[in-house]
A = this chain, B = another copy of it.
């Protein structure tokens, strides 16, 4: 199982986890430094969801580092099922957060004829783009994990 790219305890798996952390932290940083995000429920939800993503991915990254340093393979089926469920839940929450924020961003930029908040506008777009990147990486991890559990 160790040779399966993206599985827990592999270099690819660790890279995916670090990418998830990086994109999520970037998204939070970009959104939280705007002055008006708290007026929008979807933007607050984006921060909460990305925060959960960071905690989850960081925890699994630490586990990957431990497994790599001890040259241990993580193929405990209960642990893998837990990872698969966690990945699926965080992936769903991240996509929902990214999409709802994107809906509002598009509303302000296109439907209402342009965003008038200056620098804030770029930050909103950046936060949404990073949230989608974070979702792509967690979706890959989630599919790999689900495959590992199902293939037994």
Contacts and interface: CB of A to CB of B under 8 A. Distances in A.
A100 B108 CA distance: 13
Contacts of A150: 146-147, 149-151
A74 interface: no
A41 B146 contact: no
A102 B45 CA distance: 12
Contacts of A146: 143, 146-147, 150
B147 A111 contact: no
Copies, count: 2
A contact face: mostly helix, strand, loop, or mixed? helix
Interface residues of A, number: 26
A125 interface: no
Contacts of A99: 95-97, 99-100, 103
A66 interface: no
Interface of A: 39-42, 92, 95-97, 99-104, 106-107, 110-111, 139, 143, 146-147, 149-152
Given A100-B106, A146-B150, 6 more contacts: A40-B111, A42-B106, A95-B96, A95-B99, A104-B104, A150-B151
18 contacts: A39-B111, A41-B103, A41-B106, A92-B95, A95-B95, A95-B96, A95-B99, A96-B99, A99-B99, A100-B100, A100-B102, A100-B103, A100-B106, A101-B103, A102-B103, A103-B104, A149-B150, A150-B150
